[in-house]
Amino acid sequence: MKQGPRQISVPYRPIPLEAPEGMTANEFFNSTENLNDLVHNNGLLQNPENLLLYRKAIGHSNLFDASIIYNTSQMILDPLGRPVRRCQVPEPVVNVWNRMNQVLIAYMQENFADAGRYLLLCGEASLDATWPLSSPGVPSIRMLHNHFIVFDHAELEAAELADADSPNLTDGGQHSLFESTMHDVYHEFFDTLDLQLLNPFVGEASQLALTGYPQGLPCWKICGGAEAIDTVKFWREYDIILKGFIDFYRTFFSQVSTRNAVIPDNAFFPDQINDKLLYSNQFLGAAKIVRDKCIVDARYANLVRWQPAFKQLIYRNQDGDWFVTISQNSIGNAITELLGVVVDRVPDAAAYEKAEPRLIEHLLNVRQRLIDADLGDPIATEYWAA
């Protein structure tokens, strides 16, 4: 078996929904009209917190694939004004979201228990509000959402190797800027955060044996595995990772933008920023390199996302160990590509419909668990009843 990123083909049923004349697809996908279609054609469950569980119509896997989106499309009509990261979401909503995450992850762990056969992942995407709506690579729904995906290791092993130099796998240099240029200071900064369930791991210990990914990303092993994910303490530490990353990202790019910039407003860990970053020659020297390149290279400068853009991922490896990782997401790669899985989604209704009954059976089963836990009310569609 050769190690390397894999590219798989996943069929889907074409969606009979067209963007109005004069609108780009991304502009339309972020509209309330499109979100209404998402609810009525693929919605599974929704709750008073505006969290919507739905089937991925154009998905990553037909084994198990669902998402939860914080559907603010009717409350906040300005797509650029919607929450795009967990720390912007009201605490009561986050609490409900965490419980929904726990139910789905537990279901995946129970029904796809063989770690040697199934790759499990749960990931959240930040949709950076500084991106132009029509910019290439912008996620299609501009609201905070997460993914629950299962892949079959046998299918991945049989798949062709992906191009390891693809920008979607290298993330435009994510392997990269923070890790390769500021490795020591990056990890020292995270080491100052109060983490007990999450232990830092580097290199092969956190990589998937099949793909060799994640590469160049900080990873933390979850002590206690899937059982720990079912605790409040885990989700608090999961948010600490996110807040630490945001502080690091904002501080770095504020220094890129403005030499000797002050600590960003509303920083989560101002003391650590001051002690570990603003007195680090390695950190400030890296900012100078990027700043100098931005001044002379327009293409490079255009790729910079000045506000935090990231993907945060919980995944189970082939040994049954659970990890958390977070990426510096400078381009907008798919969340599966952090683990070296490139998904080529192909319109093929006949092929999709062969997998659809079992997929929907799983989705309705996990929906019932959410209903039983008072986490939402069912939605009826053409494909399933309420």
Q: What is the pLDDT of residues 222-232, one digit of tens each?
A: 999 999 999 99
Q: Give 174's pLDDT tier (boundaries 50, 70, 90).
A: very low
Tell me the per-residue pLDDT of 27-79, one tens digit each, with 9 for 90 and over.
Answer: 677 677 777 778 888 999 999 999 999 999 888 999 999 999 998 888 887 77
Which 3 state secondary structure label does DSSP give 23?
Answer: coil
Tell me the percentage of the chain whose pLDDT exceeds 70: 90
What is the per-residue pLDDT for 225? 93
Q: Is the pLDDT of residue 295 over 80?
A: yes
What's the half-sphere exposure (Cβ side, CA atoms, 13 Å) at 356? 17
Helix ranges restricted to H, the chain: 25-29, 32-42, 91-111, 153-158, 167-170, 177-191, 225-229, 232-257, 270-272, 281-296, 298-303, 349-372
What is the per-residue pLDDT for 128? 57
What is the per-residue pLDDT for 222? 97
135, two tokens: 């910019």
Residue range 135-152: average pLDDT? 75
Gyration radius of the chain over CA positions = 20
Cα–Cα distances in Å, from 333 out to 71, 210, 243? Answer: 22, 20, 21
In which region does residue 233 sit, left (phi positive, over 0), alpha (psi from -120 to 50) or beta (all else)? alpha
* DSSP string across 127-139: --TTS-TTSTT--
| Strands ordered across the beta sheet of 341-347 | 160-161, 6-12, 341-347
* DSSP string across 152-182: EHHHHHHSEEP-TT-HHHHTTTTTTHHHHHH
Q: Are strands 145-152 and 64-70 parallel, antiparallel or unpaired?
A: antiparallel
* DSSP string across 300-350: HHHH--SS--EEEEEEE-TTS-EEEEEEE-SS---GGGGGTEEEEEEE-HH
Residue range 182-200: average pLDDT? 90
More confident residue, 69 or 165: 69
Burial 41-65 (b: 16+ CB within 10 A, else e): bbbbbbbebbbbbbbbbbbbbbbbb
Q: Is the pLDDT of residue 24 over 90?
A: no
Which of 172, 95, 131 is closest to 308 using CA atoms? 131
What is the per-residue pLDDT for 16? 74
* Cα 178-319-162 angle, rounded to 5 deg: 55
Residue range 82-91: average pLDDT? 86
Which residues are within 8 A (CB) of 127 and not within 5 positions of it... i.e. 6 or more apart?
84, 138, 139, 141, 142, 143, 144
| Strands ordered across the beta sheet of 118-125 | 198-201, 219-222, 322-328, 310-316, 118-125, 145-152, 64-70, 51-55, 43-46, 377-378
Q: Dihedral sign for Cα 177, 179, 180, 186, please.
A: positive
Strand partners, 11: 346
